[in-house]
Amino acid sequence: MTDQPPAQYAGPKRVLSGVQPSGDLHLGNYLGALVKFAKLQHETPTLIFVADMHAITVWQDPKKLKTQVREIAAAYLATGLDPKIATIFPQSAVPEHAELAWVLNCVARLGWLDRMTQFKDKAGKHKERESVGLYTYPVLQAADILAYKATHVPVGDDQKQHLELTRDIAQKFNNDFDAAGFFPLPEALTQGPGARVMSLRDGSAKMSKSDPSDNSRINLTDDADAIASKIRKAKTDPEPLPETMEALAERPEAKNLVAIYAALAGRPEAEVLGEFAGQGFGAFKPKLADLAVSVMGPIGGEMRRLLADPAEIDRILGDGAARAREIAAPTMAEVKRLVGYWAG
């Protein structure tokens, strides 16, 4: 029959991602996410939002939240997102995220959410004290993506499981509501040298905003002295750098610094090792610090410049929200019809 929707999603390619406004952005966010956003906008229609609804799954000071949203927006702009090309907006300015999340909460199964490792990591031993929102966080994430029928989602490695869940939810929605091909099954774009940047203090833990030690991460707003000092203090071992990547396998801290150098320089790790093999960290660290300062320094400066004019950031976010709604509203209208809601 020709009037049946295609079984496979046949809509256009669309990129979407977001970052929570819940702390300073760091090198891991930059290499794992922001760098990719700026690149992808030139290839595919791209929507990038600030996830303030996700942020309140843990306590946020209401007096600071708007400023935090502007800071993430400034980071997007300072790392090369162009509001004339990409759609940049705050999640809470588009009510369809919350509306779709409710429907998807009724599609997702408890058993699926029980497997989410990010919840287990964040909740620790006292999950009964966490918000219900933290538990159902990945369903809101699925709604963020599916409201725009996004097909590609650039994120760091740690988000892979949430993307798998999004696909499961999309597939079940399509099946349950007899709507084959309605939602795409979106793909995580995690490839790239900075997909998993590790802590500077512990090569087995991911660099994270929530690490209590500020020395574990390089923040986008760190000045040259702070960057150099954190790299100088970074945990390493007494051995010189080896010739091959295989020889780094058992040296997580050394491996991480080489990977950071390669990602910042846009060069393969093997090539970096070729240059530094045989040298100790006394020689390597100052080179890495110079490189990090040359890449990150201007970003921090640009963020400060942008944040001096909050009205301009708000204008960009308002404009982005209006454009985002134009895409999300028709999706939501169709979802309501498929579900059989009273209100359409």
Q: Cβ of residue 194: shortest distance to ligand ADP, in angstroms?
A: 6
**C-beta separation of 272 from 254 below 8 A:** no
Largest CA distance in the chain: 71
Q: What does 193 bind: ligand TRP, ligand ADP, none (CB cut-off 5 to 8 Å by kind)?
A: none
State yes or no: is 120 an active-site residue: no
Q: Which of 13, 36, 120, 122 is catalytic?
A: 122
Q: CB of 137: closest distance to ligand TRP in angstroms?
A: 7
Length of the chain: 344
Q: Residue type for 167, please?
A: R
By the rule CB under 6 A, 18 interacts with ligand TRP: yes
Handedness of CA 32, 154, 72, 204 (dihedral sign): negative
Query: Does residue 209 have an active-site annotation?
Result: yes
Among 103, 155, 169, 257, binds ligand TRP (CB under 6 A): 155
Does the footprint of ligand ADP cover residue 156 (CB under 6 A)?
A: yes
Known catalytic residue at 39: no
Residues 183-222 that bind ligand ADP (CB under 6 A): 194-197, 206-210
Counting contacts by CB under 6 A, is residue 29 touching ligand ADP? yes
Considering the complex, state which of residue 174 and residue 216 has its C-beta at the smaller distance from ligand ADP.
216
22 lines the binding site for ligand TRP (CB under 6 A): no
The answer to whether the CB of 77 falls within 8 A of the CB of 34 is no
CB of 144 to ligand TRP, least distance (A): 4
Question: In 3-state terms, what secondary structure has residue 41?
Answer: coil
Rounded to whole angstroms, how far apart are CA atoms 6 and 250?
Answer: 49
Give the shortest CB-258-to-ligand ADP separation in angstroms.
15
Cα separation of 56 and 46, whole Å?
Answer: 25
Q: Does residue 146 interact with ligand TRP by CB under 6 A?
A: no
Q: How many whole angstroms separate alpha carbon 9 and alpha carbon 168?
A: 14
Could you count the other beta carbons within 10 Å of the beta carbon of residue 165? 19
Contact between 57 and ligand ADP per CB under 6 A = no
Distance CA 21, CA 52 (A): 6
Residue of 344, 336, 319, 324 whose CA lies nearest to 106? 336
Residues 44-83 touching ligand TRP, rule: CB under 6 A, are: 51, 54
Residue 227 identity? I
Residue 145 contacts ligand TRP per CB under 6 A = yes
Of residues 243-272, those binding ligand ADP (CB under 6 A) = none
Token pair belonging to 198: 């590790």
Among 60, 98, 112, 158, binds ligand ADP (CB under 6 A): 158
Query: Could you say whether residue 235 binds ligand ADP (CB under 6 A)?
Result: no
Site for ligand TRP (CB under 6 A): which residue of 20, 136, 216, 221? 20
Binder among 16, 32, 50, 321 for ligand ADP (CB under 6 A): 32
Of the candidates 15, 16, 19, 38, which one interacts with ligand ADP according to CB under 6 A?
Answer: 19
What is residue 105's DSSP assignment? H
Q: Residue 7: helix, strand or coil by DSSP? A: coil
Number of helices and strands (H, E) in the chain? Answer: 14, 5
From edge to edge, which strands make up the β-sheet containing 87-90? 87-90, 46-50, 15-19, 152-154, 187-189
Enumerate the active-site residues. 122, 206, 209
Q: Which residues bind ligand TRP (CB under 6 A)?
A: 16-20, 51, 54, 141, 144-145, 153, 155, 159, 162
Q: Where on the chain is the footprint of ligand ADP (CB under 6 A)?
A: 19-20, 28-29, 31-33, 155-156, 158-159, 194-197, 206-210
